[in-house]
Chain A
Amino acid sequence: MFLIDCPYCKESRDQNEFSPAGEAFIARPQNPEELSDDEWADYVFYRTNHKGDHWEQWVHTNGCRKYFLVKRSTISHEILEVAAFGEVTSENKS
């Protein structure tokens, strides 16, 4: 059970207060009807399943209930970076 630093509560909390919420930086297409079935499927179903440093969303379910971003190693589980939602984008991410 690892610790996550909630960027809003500004405190380290146990993993059991949080829920994982999928890969980060996946934006809902603005005009879904303009996408082909394949492009839509890509958004709905496909994820990168990256081995290594992974940007993902977490939510502080039993705390402030806010969504935020975590950069975690899928190999060692080490948490490398935590950011408020929107603070890091796919453009400026490390």
Chain B
Amino acid sequence: MAMTNPITVENSMPEFRSIFSSLIDEDGYLINQEHLNCREITGKSLLVLRTSKDSKKNNKAAKEFFNIQLPSSLGISTGENDAKCFWISPDEFWLLNNQQDKENLVGKIKLLPEGLSMTDNSAAYGILEFTGENTDNLLARWMSYDLSGSLKEGKVISTTFGQAPVFVYRENQKLLMMVRHSFSHYVVGLFQDSAKRI
């Protein structure tokens, strides 16, 4: 659903609010302390691709329509213009692109062969970026996953943060976390509280 030219009652521009917009401070941070920073990443689109039982067909479609290679278990593959493809399950892949590339991708939905389908989930997830040497330490308060031991770059995992489902991966020494819109306040509340005692 792209934004069209606004013709509204009050002639105002539709206001797009990012998922964490009501929680970030005036500098755009959620945590801003020594050895630990957290900010929101905006301007991305997230499309959920479901695949068929025919892996040849899947790989062909991925290459043809999205110019990307489907990764294997827990893997991440990359494409042009910062495009990323995450393995979520044997038949589910997430395509993370820049916002401006979304319309083009959404247009491909009707071209997908039988057995494949795609849904726009851009509004459903927010993306947080953690930097600083205390990152793993902070997340270890709420995640039972062995981040420092098992989360290498190029790997994406789906797990829990407290009671919230989250998706986590690393990129360029940063840690990225995708959080469902409705769990945003909860997740932020938890890690802001823990950060006070790190």
Q: In the complex, A10 Cα to B144 Cα: how many Å?
A: 17
Q: In the complex, A64 Cα to B90 Cα: how many Å?
A: 8
Q: Is the CB of A64 within 8 A of B158?
A: yes
Q: Per-residue 0/1 for A37-71: is the Cβ within 8 Å of any B Cβ (1 yes, 0 no)?
A: 00000000000000000000000001111100000
Write the chain A residue with the least CB distance to B150.
A11
Q: Per-residue 0/1 for B70-112: is the Cβ within 8 Å of any A Cβ (1 yes, 0 no)?
A: 0001100000000000001110100000000000000000000
Q: Is the CB of B150 within 8 A of A65?
A: no
| List of B residues within 8 angstroms of A1 by Cβ | 144
Q: Is the CB of A14 within 8 A of B90?
A: no
| List of A residues within 8 angstroms of B74 by Cβ | 9-11
| List of A residues within 8 angstroms of B113 by Cβ | none
Segment 49-82 of B: residues with Cβ below 8 Å from A: 73-74
Chain A nearest Cβ from B169, distance in angstroms: 14
Q: In the complex, A21 Cα to B92 Cα: how many Å?
A: 21
The count of residues in chain B whose C-beta lies closer than 8 Å to any C-beta of chain A is 14
Q: Is the CB of A9 within 8 A of B160?
A: no
Q: A11-B150, A16-B144 are in contact. Are A64 and B89 (CB under 8 A)?
A: yes
| List of B residues within 8 angstroms of A78 by Cβ | none
Contact of A25 with B by CB under 8 A: no
Segment 117-166 of B: residues with Cβ below 8 Å from A: 144-145, 150, 157-160, 165
Q: Is the CB of A17 within 8 A of B159?
A: yes
Q: In the complex, A14 Cα to B142 Cα: how many Å?
A: 13
| List of A residues within 8 angstroms of B144 by Cβ | 1, 14, 16-17
Chain A nearest Cβ from B72, distance in angstroms: 9
Write the chain A residue with the least CB distance to B160.
A62
Q: In the complex, A16 Cα to B145 Cα: how many Å?
A: 11
Interface residues of B (CB under 8 A from A): 73-74, 88-90, 92, 144-145, 150, 157-160, 165
Interface residues of A (CB under 8 A from B): 1, 8-11, 13-14, 16-17, 62-66
